[in-house]
Amino acid sequence: MSGNPWAQWLDRYDTVPYQLSRKQGWDAFVNAGSRPRFEVLTRAEMRALNADVLADYNEARCVWNANPATIKTQQLARAFDVLEQVMASNRRDGDKLRGAAVIDAEPGLGKTTIATRFAREVHRREYRRHSPETPDGSQRLPVAFVPLNAGVTLKGLNQQLLEFYGHPGASRSTRTQLTSLAMDCVTTCETKLIIIDDLHFVDFRHRNGLEVSNHLKGLANVLPATFLFVGVNLEAKRFFDEGLLGEAAVYAQTSRRTTRCPVAPFSFGDGHSARAWTDLLVTLERHLILADAGPGMLTSQARELHRRTQGRIASLMNLIDRAAFLAITTGVEAITPAVITAALTDNAAQRLAELPA
Ligand SMILES: Nc1ncnc2c1ncn2[C@@H]1O[C@H](COP(=O)(O)OP(=O)(O)O)[C@@H](O)[C@H]1O
Ligand SMILES: [Mg+2]
């Protein structure tokens, strides 16, 4: 590369603040190309750069290092298989009930990543087969992504769904109007998959929450789309048995209509499970742009990395991000045990790592 290619790289590929909860942001996410990799400079090559250019090179490396492409972990591959099966019912005619899927797992295991990446494939697939406009001239939106907020109400849920479609009625309609507008949007844009993320913000045992969950089930009954519910601890929160207790829960409909898709942390025990963890580390090792990075840089620390992160992909990604940043700013240029020790994990991972083994 000649001149200052890293400043140019940054102009094009700097961090993108996608707003997935709006159709424009979702569209940008679906259509974004991947960042091109650039060459790793040796220490001597880095010394030859002037301070400004070196700063750009380092900044570009930090952006690159922090954004590995989605890794096809076992968890992700398994979840995709389940979701594909559930989506198969989508081919049912509109008068028959469709199934729903639920990704129910602890925080930081890659639930949102699985849901959004799967949905991105669904979106692209629909676009390969159909034109970007539906027969009545609306924009085709195969996927709607609705991340919930704490204390979400029934009205808020409908508003958020409408806001995804950029519907002007979102802020000023009554509850009943909102529901029918939401149905209009889903139908005219030929939406096939609706993701409701962070569903744990709804308390199904509380009246408001029960109302939201009943409404979601109602929508799932009338809309010609598959629902993908994503959240933490939904089973304990009684999402599946609609908050009912005892025998009544057996008759709950949700349980029958939804397929669960579990996501587990990586384990580090016998040969097979340790292998998946090591494979993940190999992928990351190859990704990082550091002058002295090489094979074994992370895999030789597999046990310690597992201890620090409890095999949770979000904690691992944070730790590696920060370690790579430290490796650059301190000039170590590799992720050594000392760098790993200095790098911070999130609060939960930190606390668990401090417990006696
Ligand atoms: N398959 C994956 N490949 C690469 N990074 C991932 C993957 N899954 C999760 N991550 C990382 O972990 C972080 C948290 O994942 P996320 O999907 O938000 O978890 P959850 O929704 O379960 O809390 C993501 O921001 C990303 O950095
Ligand atoms: Mg999430």
Which pLDDT tens digit goes with each residue over 114-154?
999 999 999 999 999 999 999 989 999 999 999 998 888 88
Question: Which ligand places an atom closest to the C-alpha of 147?
Answer: 2
Per-residue pLDDT of the chain (357 residues; tens, 9 = 90+): 456 999 999 999 998 888 999 999 999 999 998 999 999 999 999 999 999 999 999 999 999 999 999 999 999 999 999 999 998 877 766 666 677 899 999 999 999 999 999 999 999 999 999 999 999 899 999 999 999 988 888 888 888 999 999 988 777 777 778 788 888 999 999 999 999 999 998 877 788 888 887 888 778 878 889 999 999 988 877 776 665 555 555 556 666 678 889 899 999 987 777 899 999 999 999 999 999 999 999 999 999 999 999 999 999 999 999 999 999 999 999 999 999 999 988 888 888 888 876
Instruction: Write down the architecture of domain 74-261 according to CATH.
Output: 3-Layer(aba) Sandwich (3.40)
Ligand 1 centroid, distance to 202 Cα (angstroms): 22
193 forms beta bridges with 143, 226
Main-chain dihedrals φ then ψ at residue 234, nearest 5 degrees:
-70, -30
* Residue given tokens 């109400």 in the structure block: 153
Q: Find the largest Cα–Cα distance for the chain.
A: 74
Q: Indicate the domain borders of the chain.
A: 74-261, 267-357
Q: How far apart are alpha carbons 215 and 144 in whole angstroms?
A: 17
227 forms beta bridges with 100, 194
The closest residue, in CA terms, to atom 11 on ligand 1 is 314
| CB of 280 closer than 8 Å to CB of 309 | no
Ligand 1 atom closest to the Cα of residue 105 is 22
Question: Which ligand places an atom closest to the C-alpha of 110?
Answer: 1
Ligand 2 centroid, distance to 199 Cα (angstroms): 10
The closest residue, in CA terms, to atom 23 on ligand 1 is 108
| Closest C-alpha to 231, from 202, 261, 198, 209 | 198
Strands (E) in the chain, as ranges, are 100-104, 143-147, 193-197, 226-231, 258-261
155: helix, strand or coil: helix
| Closest C-alpha to 198, from 141, 164, 237 | 237
Question: Which ligand places an atom closest to the C-alpha of 106?
Answer: 1
The closest residue, in CA terms, to atom 12 on ligand 1 is 314
What are the C-alpha distances in Å from 133 to residues 136, 187, 191, 192, 333?
8, 13, 12, 14, 50
Task: Identify the residues whose C-beta falls under 6 Å from ligand 1.
Answer: 68, 70-71, 73, 76, 107-113, 313-314, 317
- Tens digit of pLDDT for each residue in 73-110? 999 999 999 999 998 877 766 666 677 899 999 999 99
Q: Which of 71, 76, 113, 288 to mutate to test the pocket of ligand 1 (most atoms within 8 A of CB)?
A: 113
